Amino acid sequence: MNLISIIKGILNVQKKIDIKQLPSQGLFYEDDFEIHIKKAKIEDIIQYEHKYNKDNLGSIIIRLKQIVERNVILSENYTYNDIKSIDIVFIFLEIVKFTNGKPIVLDFFNDSIGKNEFISFESDNFNYFEPEDDLVSKYDSETKSFNFNGYKYSVPSIGLENSLTQFLIHKSDDANSEVYNSYSYDFLYFLGNKSSLTFNEIENLLQIFNFDLSDADKKYIRKIVKRLSELGRYSLRKDSQIIDVTAKIDLEKIWK
């Protein structure tokens, strides 16, 4: 093997992801946050496909997260739990493309020409959230959040979501477990760059956001979360047409 082949092999081991091209557009990451991906091992793919259950969305999400956790390399002082949850599926698809060495191509009906066409899942075609001018003015580059009169909105990390999931599983055996279905969990969007929560912290936040805040504040917070909910939606754009990714990607056969 000559030197050029060796260099090409080394360069092909990892791929840097531009965080500005993620659904979060890098808005909520610290300046020194970097993410690289590597190719999934055949063992990872076999396990993914073997345990895939198309009738169990929770199981699919678990398999998907495992692929990401095993195949990302982050800059120093950061872990998988620091990745923003809305970016996980995008990163997963980047790992699939990098591993397979080919694009992910979706078919769709092009309204403007009246026939089926194909479009690849990539940043050039991704339908990114475009904040209005008044929303842009609320963005604070120091805190990496949108500041709404002191309420600092930041999309939750995967670590926060996992902490809440573990908490709810723990509470599922309680006699009054159904009460947790009625609670608001909007506090997840106002915790900055936290990547984990203890059960006691979750209990305290549930108390504050569901009972201690005034009704006016709770409505204001809900309005903020709803306004920025488009950040987490995956779609592609072809001219003026929006193509829903969720309904198009076959996660069961994604590695084929």
Q: Is 61 found in the same domain as 178?
A: no
Mean local confidence (pLDDT), 162-182: 94
Residue 120: strand pairing partners: 105
Q: What is the pLDDT of residues 2-15, one digit of tens each?
A: 444 444 444 568 99
Is the Cα dihedral 49, 98, 79, 70 positive or negative?
A: positive
Same domain, 25 and 91: yes
Rounded Cα–Cα distance for residues 35 and 243 (Å): 27
Are residues 162 and 48 located together in one domain of the fold?
no
Residues 175 and 111 both lie in one domain = no
Containing structural domain, residue 191: 133-227
Pair (165, 108) in one structural domain: no
Please give the tally of structural domains in the chain: 2
d(CA 245, CA 252): 14
Per-residue pLDDT tens digits for 196-220: 999 999 999 999 999 999 999 999 9
Beta strands in the chain (DSSP E): 14-17, 35-38, 72-74, 105-110, 115-120, 139-140, 145-148, 151-153, 235-238, 241-244
Which one, of 219, 209, 171, lies nearest residue 187 by Cα? Answer: 209
Could you tell me if 183 and 213 are in contact, meaning their C-beta atoms sit under 8 angstroms apart? no
What gap in Å lies between CA 237 and CA 229, rounded to an integer? 18
Strand, coil or helix: what is 55?
coil
Residue 224: pLDDT band by 50, 70, 90 thresholds?
very high
Same-domain check for residues 238 and 123:
yes
* pLDDT in the model for residue 2: 46
If residue 169 lies in a helix (H) or strand (E), which one and from where to where?
A: helix 158-171
Distance of alpha carbon 111 from alpha carbon 9, whole angstroms: 43
Number of H helices, E strands in the chain: 8, 10
Place of tokens 């591993």: 99
Q: Are residues 237 and 123 in the same domain?
A: yes
Residues 54, 111 within the same domain? yes
Based on the domain organization, do 119 and 44 belong to the same domain?
Answer: yes
Rounded to whole angstroms, how far apart are CA atoms 248 and 254?
11
Q: What integer is the mean pLDDT of 30-58?
A: 88
Least confident residue range of 84-88, 106-110, 147-151:
106-110
Same domain assignment for residues 35 and 94: yes
166 & 114 share domain: no
What pLDDT is recorded for position 11? 53
- Whole-angstrom distance, CA of residue 19 vs CA of residue 171: 35
pTM of the model: 0.91
Distance CA 34, CA 155 (A): 17
Q: Is residue 101 located within the same domain as residue 208?
A: no
